[in-house]
Structure 1
Amino acid sequence: MKVLYFDCFAGVSGDMIIASLLCHVNEEAFKRKVKKIALSDFDIEIGETRKNSIVARFFKVLHREKFHNHNRHMEDIREIISKSDLEENIKRISIEVFEKLAEAEAKVHGISPEEVHFHEVGAVDSIVDVIGAAILIDMIKPDKIVSSPLPLSSGFVKTLHGIMPVPAPATVELLKGIPVYKSDVKEEIVTPTGAAIIKTLVDEFDGVPDMRIGSVGYGAGTKDLEIPNLLRTYVGEEEKKPRTLMVLETNIDDMNPEFYQYLFELLFENGALDVFLTPTIMKKQRPGTLLTVTCRKEKINKLKEIIFRETSTFGVRCYETLRHELDRDFSIVNISGSEVRVKKGYLNGKLVKAHPEYEDVKAVAKKTGNSIVGIYRDVMKLIDFEC
């Protein structure tokens, strides 16, 4: 699984995101795509610089000021993006970023998102920053995007609305739900555009994931700070690590076995990942049943309550366990005019297991009158994999 990690130790902005991500792709291919943006009054500059002796890329949008429109609305932004000769995924990401920006600005100023005047973020450079970031994500095609928590600085910044506190009010709105921490820097280091892009793209916020790094990118900000004003990104393959799960188990020897079906239904409906019974001999040499339930940690209290309420047990054992998992996905195979789902398992990127969904195979067997064994075999013939 390809993973992209944003290491935002000095904050994040639109130009820093592009500069850093450029280190992972073909620069000329990126330039060709940027030219498809439906704006005629800009050019871009890409180069190399140093921040605290670290070599990094920089990205800058150049535009002719007389064509610079400071009063675009969300409708205008959508039109620019929609008219651009770019892939649909790039357009989708770009519009989603601007919609988040519009919602944040609207909340701050007490108006609707459609009424927002995009001053700074509606300028040519920010439009190119947002679409350019979407282009690079589409070029890298990560399966998962992770970011570090974001540092929040302090101070004040001059805007077209007047003097604003740092972080800007729109930035704070965008950072709701995102982990942040205090920075001693007295400059704006997380911009609204940067926050909106991160909020749109990132799947989870955490430390560096277990991964095998393939490439590293450094994107430079425009300011010179005491710390290196850089955004660092990693692209690589995620190293699959075992998942920590909880196990609940109890021994039962005095319960009507008819009740287990209802118990299983309740447990699965409330988050159990697996439920099974094991025949056992109890302490008084009576035959009994070991009930075992696996679940995520946050589900343990609810499932424990169900076991106490719906079985005859007086005690439940709980402990952690590790589960190693294959990467997995589903595909569809057409057999006799019907669709059969196939669950696939991957080890180190190679397909090593494939199992047709039993209920789908059974449905085809009933519909066609053919044997379930024959249908299963026909499905497997259509799956190309190596064990």
Structure 2
Amino acid sequence: MHVHLDALGGVAGDMFLAAMLDARPDLVDGALKAIRAAGLPKGWTAEAVDHHADGLAGRRFHVVPPAHGVHHHHPHEHHHHVAFRDIRAMIEKSRLDGGVKARAIAIFRLLAEAEGAVHGQDPEEVHFHEVADWDSLADIVGAAFVIEALGGATWSVSALPMGSGRVKTAHGILPVPAPATARLLEGFETLDDGIAGERITPTGAAILKALAPARRRLPEATLTASGTGFGTRALPGLPNILRALLFDTDAAAQNAPGRESEVAVIAFEVDDQTPEDLAAGLDKLRAEADVLDVTQAAVFGKKGRLMAAVHILCRAPAVERVAAACFAETTTIGLRWHLARRFELDRRAVTAGGVRVKVVSRPGGATAKAEMDDIRDVPGGRVARAAVRVAAEGDALRNGKTSKRKTDDA
């Protein structure tokens, strides 16, 4: 499945959740159940209700406090102070499914890192203001449930309206987009449609960042569903909506050379670091979370100097963290990066005769490759190792026992 987000009015947490639940009404009960499981206070309710405005039909998402009607306050009306560590602890102790917990915490972590960078604080110590009430907590938990429910869906997003003017926050009057929001939106394509005001909220920006969408790319696939999520503001001459378009990519995938995904590619050269120290640094980069591959090659640079050209693949959302690790572990003072699409063949790791073997599904039939570390110490030299390898690979192709599905190879 592929989901394209069309940010006509903008992106906020409640708009994202409303649009997705309008497109996938079968997820409504699960999302509301997840929000309750996260600790929604007694007497509070969450609603995904039908809504009509500007000649369009869709949904609105509300969090309703006790003894009140529909809750229409502006997301910056309340200024509670809740630390990221406390929100994380609350989610970890909740009855949420493990995958939903991890996604919700990841979105909050992105917010904490952005706020920390803007205000010069450790992310662990960041106190949320605008996202501290149950409106935004429910938005993030509900979004995490929907994203998890869609499994391996890929995402794309239209150019984002940045808005203009000023917004009132717990830190005073700030420009639009707010500093933390602007940091989260680095790398996204934007547009100026001439309509002022806050168009992307911090929660909406964090959800987009967590999705790592392929920007404006649309797949060659069948459109199967669409959903419209309404925001709370009325925009002059423009519906304040976020539209979700859902595509079935299974049929297209049958004709593709493999599963398509997106990775970040980082490249740089080093000419003033000893080979021993560079090797140690690259080993540490290989061990970084979300790094998929690290390679180096010898090249000639300026003045005929021999240099090491380093090439790194990592998951797109981790590119900034991995880039920081590159600066920490090598002597490079600059690097290049870009997002790239890739095709991956399905593969799995199996065990055969105590040897780990990677089995890959290829168009012409499956192939197998034994893990050299598992046969390195076989007595008898090269011929004995080759015999063990051939036997393990043959057994794996016939009836190997899966030990762990491989999805992270470059």
* TM-score normalised by length of structure 1: 0.69
Report the CA distance between 1:233 and its aligned residue. Answer: 1.2
Judging changes above 3 Å, is the alpha-carbon distance between structure 1 residues 64 and 362 closer, same or farther for their aligned structure 2 residues?
closer
- Whole-Å Cα distance in 2 between the matches of residues 35 and 75 of structure 1? 20
1:192 aligns with 2:202: yes
Report the CA distance between 1:370 and its aligned residue. Answer: 5.6
Alignment deviations for residues 78-102 of structure 1 (CA, whole Å, 9 cap, x no partner): 1121111112221111112112212
Alignment of 1:92-111 (within 5 A): 92-111=102-121
- Whole-Å Cα distance in 1 between the matches of residues 392 and 152 of structure 2? 36
Report the CA distance between 1:356 and its aligned residue. Answer: 0.8
Judging changes above 3 Å, is the alpha-carbon distance between structure 1 residues 142 and 56 closer, same or farther for their aligned structure 2 residues?
farther
Larger Rg belongs to = 1
Report the CA distance between 1:270 and its aligned residue. Answer: 5.1
Contact 1:51 1:224 in 2 (8 A): no
Contact 2:184 2:209 in 1 (8 A): yes
Correspondent of 1:333 among 350, 368, 377: 350
Alignment deviations for residues 190-248 of structure 1 (CA, whole Å, 9 cap, x no partner): 001100111011242123232222221111111122212111112223335689xxxxx
Contact 2:27 2:146 in 1 (8 A): no
Q: Which residue in the other structure is 1:17 paired with?
A: 16
Judging changes above 3 Å, is the alpha-carbon distance between structure 1 residues 136 and 326 closer, same or farther for their aligned structure 2 residues?
closer
Query: In structure 2, what residue type is equivalent to 1:4?
Result: V
Correspondent of 1:366 among 384, 395, 399: 384
Q: Which residue in the other structure is 1:357 paired with?
A: 369
Q: Which residue in the other structure is 1:177 paired with?
A: 187
1:152 aligns with 2:162: yes
Give the SS at the match of 1:227. Answer: coil
Contact 1:6 1:148 in 2 (8 A): yes
Correspondent of 1:231 among 232, 242, 255: 242
- Whole-Å Cα distance in 2 between the matches of residues 342 and 45 of structure 1? 46
Correspondent of 2:50 among 26, 30, 48: 48
- Whole-Å Cα distance in 2 between the matches of residues 143 and 221 of structure 1? 24
Identity across matched positions, percent:
33
- Whole-Å Cα distance in 1 between the matches of residues 371 and 83 of structure 2? 51
Give the SS at the match of 1:235. Answer: strand
Q: Which residue in the other structure is 2:306 paired with?
A: none
- Whole-Å Cα distance in 2 between the matches of residues 183 and 109 of structure 1? 29
- Whole-Å Cα distance in 2 between the matches of residues 150 and 204 of structure 1? 13
Correspondent of 1:85 among 76, 90, 95: 95
Query: In structure 2, what residue type is equivalent to 1:236?
Result: F
CA RMSD, Structure 1 to Structure 2 (Å): 3.1
- Whole-Å Cα distance in 1 between the matches of residues 154 and 60 of structure 2? 25
Contact 1:4 1:142 in 2 (8 A): no
Alignment deviations for residues 321-356 of structure 1 (CA, whole Å, 9 cap, x no partner): xxxx9751210122111111011247xxxxx73211
Contact 1:39 1:80 in 2 (8 A): no
What count of residue pairs does the alignment treat as equivalent?
A: 299
Give the SS at the match of 1:92. Answer: helix
- Whole-Å Cα distance in 2 between the matches of residues 203 and 335 of structure 1? 38
Of 353-362 and 20-29, deviating more is 353-362
Judging changes above 3 Å, is the alpha-carbon distance between structure 1 residues 371 and 26 closer, same or farther for their aligned structure 2 residues?
closer
Correspondent of 1:382 among 371, 374, 399: 399
Judging changes above 3 Å, is the alpha-carbon distance between structure 1 residues 78 and 338 closer, same or farther for their aligned structure 2 residues?
same
Alignment of 1:243-322 (within 5 A): none
1:122 aligns with 2:93: no
Contact 1:361 1:376 in 2 (8 A): no
Q: List alignment gaps of at least 5 residues for structure 1.
A: 244-267, 272-324, 347-351
Q: List alignment gaps of at least 5 residues for structure 2.
A: 69-77, 261-294, 299-341, 402-410
Give the SS at the match of 1:204. Answer: coil
Judging changes above 3 Å, is the alpha-carbon distance between structure 1 residues 104 and 381 closer, same or farther for their aligned structure 2 residues?
same
Give the SS at the match of 2:183. Answer: helix
Of 14-23 and 327-336, deviating more is 327-336
- Whole-Å Cα distance in 1 between the matches of residues 84 and 121 of structure 2? 13
